[in-house]
Amino acid sequence: MRIFFILCLSVSYIATAAQTKQLLPYVNPLTGTANSTTITALKHGAGTEQLANTIPAVGTPFGMTQWTPQSRLTEQKCVAPYYYKDSLFSGFRGTHWLSGSCTQDYGSFTIMPVCGELKTDPNEYAATFSHASETATPSYYGITLDKYQVKAEVTATARCSMMQFSFGKEDNCYMIVRPNSDRSKGAVYIDAAHNEISGYNPAYRIYQGQGQAAGFSGYFVVRFETAFEDPKVFSGNNIYPADSIKAQSNIGAVVKFRVHKGSILKMRIGTSFTSIAAARENLEAEINHWDFAAQTKAGNDTWNKALNKIIVEGPVEKNKRIFYTALYHTMQHPRLFNDVKGTYPAFSKSYEVKQLTTGNYYDDFSMWDIYRAQLPLYEILDPQLVNDFVRSLILKGRQGGWLPIFPCWNNYTAAMIGDHAIPFIASAYNKGIRDYDVQEAYRLMRQNAFDTAGATDYQEGKGRRALASYLRYGYVPLEDNVPYAFHGKEQVSRTLEYAYDDYALSTIARALGKTSDYNILQKRAKNYLNVFDPQLGYANGRYASGKWYEHPDPDKKAFFITEGTPRQYSFYVPHDIPGLIKAMGGKRKFEQALDSIFEKKEYWHGNEPGQQIPFLYNYIGKTIPLQTYLDAITRNEYDEGPGGLCGNDDAGQISAWYVFTAMGFYPVNPVAPEYSLVRPLFEKVTIQTGANTTTTLTVTGFKKHHPFFIAMVKRNGKKYHSTILSHKDLMNGGTFELLCSDGWQ
């Protein structure tokens, strides 16, 4: 009986293993770590907009702390910890960098081996490195430092990591641990009795409340497998025989090891946002052994499981590498913020710790970017994770008094424009993801849409910017310079995005039977028409008197448009495409307007509000230009290697666009439970949905080297009478067969 049981287990294991593909080799974490080499980034981007600003992050999906090789020392704004073009390695950083952003790191710390003569200035001890010796995967990074004859390696869990350093010669080697405070506020402590270094690095706000304390720190514990000698602390080049130091510039701790050729030094590191004690608890819970290989394998298994939620099959291996690298980039944020025991720093408070009763708490929502496609992707793949995200936003609203617009650094920021926690929550609700207090969510969303925050709260970043003007005029007039916002002015873009936010809230108002709110919000959802200049045929600035801004250039950046041009932003009406078509003069003129943005090479894929534009051809039945332009974008704006992303990845939004498009559908209006159906980039796409179903899209008539278009769609063998794919049909599972040809219209 025992033999039979073991045999059954073995057969089951083999079957499971056969179903799981090894997909890590398709991921290149170095993609996006250099200046973009794509067409529109070179034309429309400038400065930091030409940098994807991703990092070769080692961790787990949506983890608390990522681990990256460090080639830049600072936590300053728009400076990522690693750039491919750099040549100096100065340690492994436990980082909270917002992937693909132009923001800032916070609460980070760095560990660096220094052999031979002790140096504490990173400009002196940093080691040159070669990309030829670099191995980067989502679960592991390794590099050889010839200067010290050391191989440095790191693997990680959600909150912790393990490092090992292999030495090529006998020497004195020092381990330097630095809290990376640019403000001389960190601290380090050495506990020789427990082979441990601990410390913290306080976080500071950016955008609203720039430079103020964020009310929490990044805490860390570093535990060594081997006892160390000669513990010291330092500040700059000044070294002291002490076991602690804090609140001085360029501080750190250093301990010595006598190593020989072939010896290996290991360390385990825990992190937390609440305390050093919690960092220890996280470490004991997540890594309580010293087996580096086993820990790396566990990380491999975690990522393989996550990547296997979507299986793509086709003859072009390069496309698979781009796809799975993009999927990896969509799993960086929002960031896990709570400890294993459920403690987390209260939102927008000063070192106040809260306790969760269920789920996990997340922060770093780059909301202006990710509500469009990155968050909707996980409404398909992991609805329970999305429930955690929504509950986290509700907690923030309760603790801070207002639903945040763009919550990062566990604070209000008033960064970017719009009020896009609302469409995200509406998107989740409309797709049946509702394991949270819906009434409380509605209360907070309604407050943002109807009430103007008091002066003190408003200056803190609470409430919609320029809401009073928007409610009075039905648009934000050019006279309103929109003070107390990181992005001043940009009145037309704000109007367009507020109209969408109002539409989003109206869908929940209707579902909850709040008829008066619904009627008001539905009317406000048409406010986009108030900034649509009928004489010009595109969006334009407008004064309080109703007069239009004179002589705007549709193809030049304007002060009333966010990071783009009037032509580009005019297509941002995802909730009322029929109304937009009518405003532009009907289908023929709408098609001409779409054609013009591509013919003039004014489509900018690196700017989020235009990313739905190519899919708009679907709404006028134009399959050929739709697929032609999508093919050009996937071919020209995404590539392998360090320069392969077309600008700031913005917490995974640019990557999520590729994932959706390559699968064959896209959430043009993410609030609605539907997708614009297009031809996949692969012959077969298999999706394991969060509803425990399997949905497959197959392409009949797949061609590798020239354009082809959808002629007919079948679902489970029956004709599917729409190019709009319903969320319900997607989540219910089954097979969608896309029959394609060279030129069917």
pLDDT tens-digit series, residues 131-171 = 999 999 999 999 999 999 999 999 999 999 999 999 999 99
Res. 186: pLDDT tops 90 = yes
For residues 608-637, average pLDDT: 94
- pLDDT for the residue numbered 513: 98
- pLDDT for the residue numbered 706: 64
| Helical ranges in 287-415 per DSSP H | 292-307, 317-329, 367-370, 374-381, 383-400
- pLDDT for the residue numbered 3: 35
Res. 8: pLDDT tops 80 = no
Res. 13: pLDDT tops 60 = no
Interatomic CA distance for residues 300 and 283, integer angstroms:
19
Angle between helices 653-663 and 623-636 (to 10 degrees): 130
Helix (H) or strand (E) segment spanning residue 276: helix 276-286
Angle of CA points 338, 327, 717, to nearest 5°: 120
Q: What's the alpha-carbon Rg for the chain, to the nearest Å?
A: 26
- pLDDT for the residue numbered 302: 98
- pLDDT for the residue numbered 607: 86
- pLDDT for the residue numbered 140: 98
For residues 629-642, average pLDDT: 93
For residues 416-430, average pLDDT: 97
Structure tokens that stand for 675 in this block: 């997708």
pLDDT band (50, 70, 90) for residue 7: very low
> pLDDT tens-digit profile of 657-683?
999 999 999 999 999 999 999 999 999
- Range with the lowest mean pLDDT among 3-17, 43-57, 472-486, 690-704? 3-17
- pLDDT for the residue numbered 44: 65
> pLDDT tens-digit profile of 190-225?
999 999 999 999 999 999 998 999 999 999 999 999
Measured CA distances, 84 to 81, 87, 133, 135, 200 (Å) = 10, 8, 13, 13, 28
For residues 370-379, average pLDDT: 98
* AA letter at 355: Q
* AA letter at 642: P
Interatomic CA distance for residues 48 and 53, integer angstroms:
8
Res. 49: pLDDT tops 70 = no
- pLDDT for the residue numbered 741: 83
Beta bridge partners of 177: 111, 253
Interatomic CA distance for residues 398 and 511, integer angstroms:
23
Average pLDDT, the chain: 94
Res. 1: pLDDT tops 60 = no
Which residue from 379, 470, 459 is spatially nearest to 413, judged by alpha carbons? 459
Question: Does residue 400 contact residue 445 with C-beta atoms inside 8 Å?
Answer: no
For residues 318-347, average pLDDT: 98
Residues of the chain above pLDDT 70, percent: 95
- pLDDT for the residue numbered 647: 83
- pLDDT for the residue numbered 36: 83
Res. 5: pLDDT tops 70 = no
Res. 46: pLDDT tops 90 = no
- pLDDT for the residue numbered 606: 85
For residues 41-66, average pLDDT: 85
For residues 179-192, average pLDDT: 96
pTM of structure: 0.95
> pLDDT tens-digit profile of 703-735?
766 668 888 999 999 999 888 999 999 999 999
Res. 6: pLDDT tops 80 = no
pLDDT band (50, 70, 90) for residue 9: very low
pLDDT band (50, 70, 90) for residue 743: low
Q: Residue 514: exposed, middle, or buried by beta-carbon count in 10 A (0-12, 13-18, 19+)? A: middle
For residues 554-565, average pLDDT: 95
- pLDDT for the residue numbered 16: 40
- pLDDT for the residue numbered 282: 98
